[in-house]
Amino acid sequence: MAWASGEGVRCADVRRFGMADPGDVSALRRAIDAGEVDPATIVAVIGKTHGNGLVNDYTRGYLRQSLALLIAERTGRTPEDVVARVPFIFSGGVEGVLSPHYAVFTVAQATAGGPAPSLAVGVAGTPDLEPQDVGRARQIASTADAVRRAMHGAGLAPEDVHLVQVKGPAFGAAEILAAAQAGREPASLHPGTLMAFGRAASALGVASALGEVDAEADLERAVLSDRTVYSRRASVSAGSEIRNVEVVVLGLGAAWRGPLTIGHRGLADALDLAPVMELAAELGLEPAPQVPAAQAARIRAVLVKCEPQRDGMIRGRPHTMLNDGDIDAQRHVRGAVGAIVASVLNDTALFVSGGAEHQGPDGGGLLAVIAERQASPLHGHGFGSAGA
Amino acid sequence: MAWASGEGVRCADVRRFGMADPGDVSALRRAIDAGEVDPATIVAVIGKTHGNGLVNDYTRGYLRQSLALLIAERTGRTPEDVVARVPFIFSGGVEGVLSPHYAVFTVAQATAGGPAPSLAVGVAGTPDLEPQDVGRARQIASTADAVRRAMHGAGLAPEDVHLVQVKGPAFGAAEILAAAQAGREPASLHPGTLMAFGRAASALGVASALGEVDAEADLERAVLSDRTVYSRRASVSAGSEIRNVEVVVLGLGAAWRGPLTIGHRGLADALDLAPVMELAAELGLEPAPQVPAAQAARIRAVLVKCEPQRDGMIRGRPHTMLNDGDIDAQRHVRGAVGAIVASVLNDTALFVSGGAEHQGPDGGGLLAVIAERQASPLHGHGFGSAGA
Amino acid sequence: MAWASGEGVRCADVRRFGMADPGDVSALRRAIDAGEVDPATIVAVIGKTHGNGLVNDYTRGYLRQSLALLIAERTGRTPEDVVARVPFIFSGGVEGVLSPHYAVFTVAQATAGGPAPSLAVGVAGTPDLEPQDVGRARQIASTADAVRRAMHGAGLAPEDVHLVQVKGPAFGAAEILAAAQAGREPASLHPGTLMAFGRAASALGVASALGEVDAEADLERAVLSDRTVYSRRASVSAGSEIRNVEVVVLGLGAAWRGPLTIGHRGLADALDLAPVMELAAELGLEPAPQVPAAQAARIRAVLVKCEPQRDGMIRGRPHTMLNDGDIDAQRHVRGAVGAIVASVLNDTALFVSGGAEHQGPDGGGLLAVIAERQASPLHGHGFGSAGA
Amino acid sequence: MAWASGEGVRCADVRRFGMADPGDVSALRRAIDAGEVDPATIVAVIGKTHGNGLVNDYTRGYLRQSLALLIAERTGRTPEDVVARVPFIFSGGVEGVLSPHYAVFTVAQATAGGPAPSLAVGVAGTPDLEPQDVGRARQIASTADAVRRAMHGAGLAPEDVHLVQVKGPAFGAAEILAAAQAGREPASLHPGTLMAFGRAASALGVASALGEVDAEADLERAVLSDRTVYSRRASVSAGSEIRNVEVVVLGLGAAWRGPLTIGHRGLADALDLAPVMELAAELGLEPAPQVPAAQAARIRAVLVKCEPQRDGMIRGRPHTMLNDGDIDAQRHVRGAVGAIVASVLNDTALFVSGGAEHQGPDGGGLLAVIAERQASPLHGHGFGSAGA
């Protein structure tokens, strides 16, 4: 994580690339080879892959391996070194209209003046966690510490932050049971439930670092228990391809220059249409009701968090997401909220992640959009297509 | 089908009821017992059940049996007689934010004056079909004939029709193979593909009856082959709980009085947000961008058709619905389009049906909304809740 | 439950019937109308339906409604009365080679002499449970009490019992959360996990009634925690279509006459082939290695319990059942163990139920077979086919 | 494909390795580094991965990439060269008790005398196919040609062959539609159905090369149409990670020396238990009824083909596999037949592949087992475990 706070004026860029499958990194390869992306400046990749987004989703690891190989090859580093330096935050599940893609975040020294504040990016990671750490004080504290380091690295104060994207570890049934049998009791023996504990704890860690919760609160006790305690700017996912917690802090920094800005809104529930429109309007995207294609081309990344309301209701009527044994509730809600956001933004390459425990109120969520301030002739629509 | 065209001025009403499970018809029972619904006037029920909406979805048959028993008990008829007289058109799959429900359509002699035209309802059915009829000329012609009879019964001309809701038969693998082995070759041996053939043929039957296609066209040849031939007002589903084709024609009739009106719009693709807003505005529901709850209470039924675009693309980017071996493509698209419509209308009790072959352009769909002209103190929100 | 212990010598019979769908009870209807089954003597029905066997499986309720209507019609009782008197124990999920069916248990006064002991059947039920009772002492004690009453009614001592088939309630996410929010904290907020708690508690109730566990043990504390405490003769499932616990005790009773016998074996794990062969041989079914069709025709019912080994291993290699987000682990294991038993017995109409918590050792299960002592010219193969 | 027929006496070896996920090739890495496997001698890898085995299964490609990287690194070749030389035949779907693994086939000059004939391995590939070739004469002929070349390379006559394992290409919906719209009409527009066409055509190609069918027969016409035409020694799968057809011919060759032998049996249907026992006995594995662990340690690879009977029946009763919209029929049947074979062989690391079109009679399948002739102190159980 090379970009310490004292290094002068920086510029962040974000470009999304499509992929035919999780092994297809041809679009980024072409962009690198065309000089459009300097691989040495890549600080994070956030993406949405083809899998189910649950414990047995191996598409996240496949894309991670594929990108690490490409970036290693083009930078002269080893894949292991690339993985250690660059957070790869992938969420599986492109339900409904969603499109598989990855967004590449780069940070370079600013080469030209420009308006400030601009998009700022900070990254950091925690040490590895074990099953018994998930959902507990250790995960909360280490996540909070990573967020603070990422903010410091980016020169951001808590109030400058628009979104903290977090990826934490997930464990399979066998590892969980092994920990329990060794006397290191995990918070749950159920792999999916333990994933929820992990998302919850990291979200509370973000809330702590951003000062959104009382510094004296017993946050471990609140995990999956007191839903009134939450962050309004955390988006957390989990996956078995990593062992530690990786954080990417996104905000507007006074010491950053560049063409990109970011905004965010909380979503009160899965049908909360108005904030989507408001955020689009705030970014000058002219939703009427849909952002026209010419304006949508300015969008560089969209990050959404959502979850099913736990009482099984929405707007006074029952939903069935939580009782479905065939399709996981998170797949249902990603498809629904993703479609609503896509229909307004006229963009389907959205990062939509389910499981919003302590990331907004019960059943609610979060939306952040990174966009060019105005149409940039240089970068075009910033979306590379897959395949040959 | 008691309501022939000569019987004077009629009034159609529509009320939706929720259900805890497909055996729970307590909400309609209470409405009947409270005198709010006269069971003798029920002419059709259209609903969305908990199942997967595919060949092995038995929730449609379960609700059908449960409603037939209730209506039979309260009208003194046999369940068999009820099923023979009343089309029960159910689509399984309440993906995402959708809520299980059924809409009860009643027709009575108009007891008071009121504005004309008002919501008009006509119903008819075809003889039973066999596997080899599905997707073929016999299904096209018999569906067209049923639509004509339903229009005639309701006193509607083709141009008065806003939506023709159709339910046709589906067959399991064993029945299909048995027909093939007896020399009665079905259009496909794959149960799901044969369902698609059936939806396609009935849609072309509707198009024929409504005069939407050239009367001389070889429609059998167009089935699943020439996607430029389609109806703009057909919504067809299929299920193994029936053997014939049942049609419900909905329109605005000059000889009908009552509080309800209907409107419809075509959807160009799964992200076509503007027509949803336009239709809401046309019905006075004030979307800004979401219909406020007070206005949404006037909505009596919402019927949506949709399907994944067959080239695997949407707005220039790939979707993955058609290649998914875990979640059927129709489940994906119902969850997505249903959420978009729900977010505008502020209503989740939507009938959303996938499989829009020849029901609009490739990847497109249809939206029809039935609503009160103004808030009705008598009927309230017209939605009965389930359970005790 | 009419058959108290003092009523003299009784005869139990069991016949299985296939079904095209959960609403198809035509095979039993024909058997009743042909005088082969006296509907007044039906004391229990145990069956395997088309659904997923999880919380949102409505095929169990559909078959229950369909059978209750038929039996009510043919006995002059109301459906409510039938449901109150006759346990309907259905498990969803006919994975792999399994075939949907239901086994009808009848008890009549013995009309002829015959060998003793013969198959004996006892039934009983508990009061309704609420979410907070599931997995707790109340479920354990009330299940144990019901088992004792069922044994008493059948004149069976604990050592005469071969299998106690139990069905308990399941609750959806909304009901569970409502209980929690009212201060009646359930053992888990996750519907599937709470089902597991319920199976575990009822299994320990059976173990208590059969004297398989120390009478002084703190069984509530053992629930899902101490897997060394278990019953060797309990098979428990759960479903949202009932609110209480229903038990069917099957054994060999000295006061019973009739053509049927029963045997059982424990299964050490999901690959435990030898006990299946041994039990078949014990019943004279001549597995070599497969029971020939002529002998298989003597089989009247097969009841299997199984579950995935919780450490994710089987015979030293990993299985993946517990980490699968697309197919529930119970569906995996039912398909596997069901196929093994079917391949030996040459019979696919097996009741195979997953979730064997405290029903044998971790990863193990149970097999019980009811069969004619010798080929019976009167009863033929005892399997009625579905449809017309 | 380096091993032409004239190169003298060869020795084939097979070792299986487990994996924690499709990116985990640590077990092979350790075996290479320990000198147990010479990476330069690897001629084929056949494995079973964690995915669903359907069109959107990316675990096959992930393992392929991971193995190619490892072998390339350890041999000094490029990954592209490895992939071009070594067939990687992976089938997704470890349903039920099955365990993810890959079997590495090596061929070396025989270093010691030994009994003949011994296991012989031949490999070959076809040129790339396009969607319109799948299921057509071009696929049949090119597969037959590849099989002939592989037999020639291994010095095998058709009667020496026990199994031809084939992997062909699969295409997604978008590619299929693009071909159709360009006038190159594929055999089906449905990705899953086109996979079936491809398996069928390659199976008929094998049948042609092995002389199992009339040389004059119109095999293209028989594809998915005349099920009486089939190979008894073909096992074909398909996946989107390759574009051509790759074949691995396994047999007993007079010019081969080594510790391994192979046998095979046809399976009449999914419950055909006796041939499994017979083959185990033929190989000296002593099934009674289960192969004891000490003998099971001699098993080096097990390859199974199976499919659901198309009339929806098995042994006179209905199965539900073909109508299931939640779990694909091939997943059902793999879990069932895999469990039966595993229960006899006491081995869960089976390659079980569904979709046996023209690979045996309708509903039937194939079983081949490679085993050591006697316990080999050198090779131990030939199964390397995953992880560190």
- Across the B:D interface, residue pairs with CB atoms under 8 Å apart total 78
What integer is the mean pLDDT of C345-371? Answer: 96
The D residues from 324 to 363 touching A (CB cutoff 8 Å) are 326
The pLDDT assigned to A110 comes to: 84
Helix-helix angle D59-75:D26-33, to 10 degrees: 20
pLDDT, tens digit (0-9, with 9 covering 90-100), for A86-102? 999 999 999 999 999 99
A276 within 8 A of A352, measured Cβ to Cβ: no
A145-154, D5-14, D267-276: least confident range: D5-14
Contacts of A328 in chain C (CB under 8 A): 325
**pLDDT band with cut points at 50, 70 and 90 for residue B112:** low
Residue D20 φ/ψ region, left for φ over 0, alpha for ψ in the -120 to 50 degree band, beta for the rest: alpha
Q: What is the pLDDT of residue B382?
A: 53
Q: Report cis status (omega within 30 of 0) of the bond before D287.
A: no
Residue A2: its pLDDT value, please?
Answer: 43
Interchain contact, A61 vs D326, CB within 8 Å: no
Share of chain D above pLDDT 90, in %: 88
- Tell me whether residue C167 is one of the annotated catalytic residues: yes
Query: In chain D, what residues touch B313 (CB-CB under 8 Å)?
Result: 174
Rounded Cα gap, residues C169 and C178, in angstroms: 16
Locate the chain C residue with the closest alpha carbon to A92.
C325
Share of chain A above pLDDT 70, in %: 94
Q: Which of B190, B313, B328 sits opposite D193 (nearest CB)?
A: B190
Please classify residue C158 by burial: count the beta carbons closer than 10 Å to its beta carbon, then call 0-12 exposed, 13-18 middle and 19+ buried: middle
**pLDDT for position D3:** 44
Instruction: Give one word for D76, left, alpha or beta, with left for phi > 0 and alpha for psi -120 to 50.
Output: left
Question: Which tops the pLDDT comparison, C114 or A100?
Answer: A100
Mean pLDDT of D63-71: 98
In angstroms, the first-to-last Cα distance of chain B is 32
Contact B322, B192 (CB under 8 A): no
Q: Which residues of C touch A178 (CB under 8 A)?
A: 311
Q: A125-145 b/e with 16+ CB inside 10 Å = b?
A: bbeebebbbbbbbbbbbbbbb
Subunit contact B313:D174, Cβ cutoff 8 A: yes
In DSSP terms, D308 is beta-bridged to: none
A374 pLDDT above the threshold of 90: no
Q: What is the largest CA-CA distance in chain C?
A: 60
Residues of C in contact with D289 (CB under 8 A): 273-274, 277, 289
User: Measured between CB atoms, does A193 come within 8 Å of chain C?
Assistant: yes
pLDDT exceeds cutoff 60 at B387: no
pLDDT of residue D284: 96
Q: In whole angstroms, what is the distance from residue C214 CA to residue C235 CA?
A: 20
Catalytic residue among D167, D208, D235, D305: D167
Q: What is the pLDDT of residue B5?
A: 46
Among the listed ranges B101-110, B211-220, C307-316, C371-380, which one has the minimum average pLDDT value? C371-380
Asked if the C-beta of C225 comes within 8 angstroms of chain A's C-beta atoms, the answer is no
Rounded to whole angstroms, the Cα distance separating C309 from C329 reads: 10
Check if the beta carbon of residue B71 is closer than 8 Å to that of residue B31: no
Residue D166: pLDDT band (50, 70, 90) is very high
Q: How confident is the prediction for chain B on average, in pLDDT?
A: 93
DSSP B231-276: BSSEEEEEETT-SS-EEEEEEEETTB-SSEEEEEEEESSTT-HHHH
CB contact under 8 A, D58 and A61: no
Is D385 in the active site? no
Cβ distance B193 to D190 less than 8 Å, yes or no, reads: yes
Question: Under an 8 A CB cutoff, do C23 and B326 touch?
Answer: no
- Inter-chain residue contact D65 with A65, CB threshold 8 Å: yes
Flag the least confident range among C33-42, C209-218, D39-48, D158-167.
Answer: C209-218
The catalytic residue among C66, C167, C235, C240 is: C167
- Binary contact (C311, A174; C-beta < 8 A): yes
Q: Whose structure tokens read 């600080």?
A: A43
pLDDT per position as a tens digit, A218-265? 999 999 999 999 999 999 999 888 999 999 999 999 999 999 999 999
**pLDDT at residue D379 greater than cutoff 50:** no
Provide the ipTM: 0.94
Q: pLDDT band for position A156 (50/70/90)?
A: very high
- pLDDT attached to residue D215: 78
By Cβ distance, the residue of B333, B337, B343 closest to A273 is B343
Q: Do D174 and B318 touch (CB under 8 A)?
A: yes
Q: Which helix (H) or strand (E) holds C330?
A: helix C329-345
- Written as six digits, the tokens of D78 are 């490029």
A241/A51 Cα distance (integer angstroms): 13
Given the DSSP bridges, would you call strands D351-354 and B260-267 parallel, antiparallel or unpaired? Answer: unpaired
Instruction: Collapse the DSSP code of B176 into the 3-class scheme (helix H, G, I; strand E, B; otherwise coil) and give the result.
Output: helix
pLDDT tens, C174-217?
899 999 999 999 999 888 889 999 999 999 999 999 999 987 88
Q: Which residues pair with D111 in a beta bridge?
A: none
How many beta-carbon contacts under 8 Å exist across A and B?
147
pLDDT tens track for D349-377: 999 999 999 999 999 999 999 999 965 44
The answer to whether D51 contacts chain A (CB < 8 Å) is yes
Integer CA distances (angstroms), D171 to B304, B356, C206, in order: 31, 23, 53
**First-to-final CA distance of chain A:** 32
Instruction: Give the model's confidence band at C7: pLDDT under 50 very low, under 70 low, under 90 confident, else very high.
Output: low
Q: Tell me whether D177 touches chain B (CB under 8 Å).
A: yes
Distance from CA of B185 to the nearest CA of D (A): 12
Q: Which of B57, B189, B312 sits opposite D174 (nearest CB)?
A: B312
Minimum distance, in Å, between the CA of residue A87 and any CA atom of chain D: 18
HSE-up (13 A, CA, CB side) for residue C262: 29
pLDDT at B2 over 80: no
Specify the 3-state DSSP secondary structure of A5: helix
What pLDDT, in 10s, does the model give residues A37-86? 999 999 999 999 999 999 899 999 999 999 999 999 999 999 999 999 99
pTM, to two decimals: 0.95
Q: Which residues of B touch A56 (CB under 8 A)?
A: none
Q: Provide the pLDDT for residue D383.
A: 67
pLDDT-based confidence at residue C383 (cuts at 50, 70, 90): low
Tell me the per-residue pLDDT of B234-264, one tens digit each, with 9 for 90 and over. Answer: 999 998 889 999 999 999 999 999 999 999 9
Q: Is D185 on the interface with B (CB under 8 A)?
A: no
C-beta separation of D69 from A73 below 8 A: no
Do D271 and D201 touch, CB atoms closer than 8 A? no
Mutate to test the interface with D, among B228, B323, B330 (most CBs of D within 10 A): B323
